[in-house]
Structure 1
Amino acid sequence: MKSLLKICFITSFLGLSAISCKEDDDYETIESVEKVKIDSVKIVNDTMAVFSVQSIRTYSTYPSKCQGFYGYDYIHSGETERDITAYQYFTNGTCPQVKYSAANQINFRPQKKGVYTFKFWTGDNTWITKNIVVN
């Protein structure tokens, strides 16, 4: 019985070792990053208090599963003006050409009162403009 347990243990261990030693199983390399159009923006409250936090959601469409959200370029273009551009990554994987939409967010925490204007890049030279009043 002891030898049977040893064989089962050794077989199980070797089987797990073989599975865990696969190289690049689900690993894909990011090949490049470029701008992605922001299709829409959702701001829950257009009025908020100083030092409070509000999530601003953006939605973008990607043509395949080899692309996805990489990050934002969040530029202070004025004292209360912000220009926001989203970026997507491209991987070297084998992916189905399936369009999908994804939501991402920016957490906005104003430090002073005023009317903040956000411009979200939608392609070429066009922008979605949203205002938030901070009291």
Structure 2
Amino acid sequence: MKNILKFCLSLLMTMMIFSCNDREEGDLIIGTDRIKIDSVKIAQDSMDVLTTQTIKTYSNYSGNCEGFYGYDYVHKNDLTREVTSYNFKTDAACTEIVTRASLINFRPQQAGDYIFKFWNGLNSSGEDIWIEKTIKVQ
């Protein structure tokens, strides 16, 4: 009787442990990588100090298996920013290429001409290509 009870308890515990895994295909992130920013939309090329403007970047992703992960936003100096976008990849089956927008909120703390460099891939020599945009802050 005790052996049957021990067996049933261990079977019940095993079932509880494995039933908690509700992960479906595509839930597992298998990697991240930088992805080129294909285009940039800046609504206003001039703005005031301490106001906020949203900058949109557009990149192409494989549908169903890739998405936006985040930005690497580097202050090269007081007025120059380098922006690199990163994607995540999952274990889901990929579908057709889709273009998605991601947002950066820019809130300058001082006046000047801010230069934004958005990473657009590598040239044939392996050097970085940048899309440059300028925002005049008054």
Q: For residues 22 and 77 of structure 1, what CA distance do their matches in structure 2 show?
A: 44
**Do the aligned partners of 2:68 and 2:87 also contact (CA within 8 Å) in 1?**
yes
CA drift at 1:34: 0.4
Q: For residues 84 and 117 of structure 2, what CA distance do their matches in structure 1 show?
A: 9
Aligned to 1:49: 48
Q: For residues 62 and 98 of structure 2, what CA distance do their matches in structure 1 show?
A: 7
After superposition, give the CA deviation of every residue in 1:19-47 in whole Å (9 maximum; x if it has no partner). xx882246611110000010000000000
Q: Which amino acid aligns with 2:91?
A: N
1:128 aligns with 2:131: yes
The normalised TM-score by structure 2 is: 0.78
Aligned to 2:7: none
CA drift at 1:94: 2.7
Which of 65, 82, 101 aligns to 1:103? It is: 101
Aligned to 2:4: none
After superposition, give the CA deviation of every residue in 1:2-33 in whole Å (9 maximum; x if it has no partner). xxxxxxxxxxxxxxxxxxx8822466111100
1:84 aligns with 2:83: yes
Provide closer, same or farther for how the CA distance between residues 87 and 123 of structure 1 changes in structure 2, counting only shifts above 3 A.
Answer: same
Q: What SS is found at the alignment partner of 1:116?
A: strand
CA drift at 1:93: 1.7
**Do the aligned partners of 2:113 and 2:136 also contact (CA within 8 Å) in 1?**
yes
Q: Give me the identity figure in percent.
A: 45
1:119 aligns with 2:117: yes
Structure 2, unpaired ranges of 5+: 1-19, 123-127
What CA RMSD, in Å, does the superposition of the two structures yield over aligned residues? 1.5
> Size of the alignment, in residue pairs?
114
**Do the aligned partners of 2:26 and 2:93 also contact (CA within 8 Å) in 1?**
no
**Do the aligned partners of 2:34 and 2:87 also contact (CA within 8 Å) in 1?**
yes
Structure 1, unpaired ranges of 5+: 1-20
The normalised TM-score by structure 1 is: 0.80
Worse-superposed segment, 21-30 or 76-85: 21-30
Q: Which amino acid aligns with 2:133?
A: K
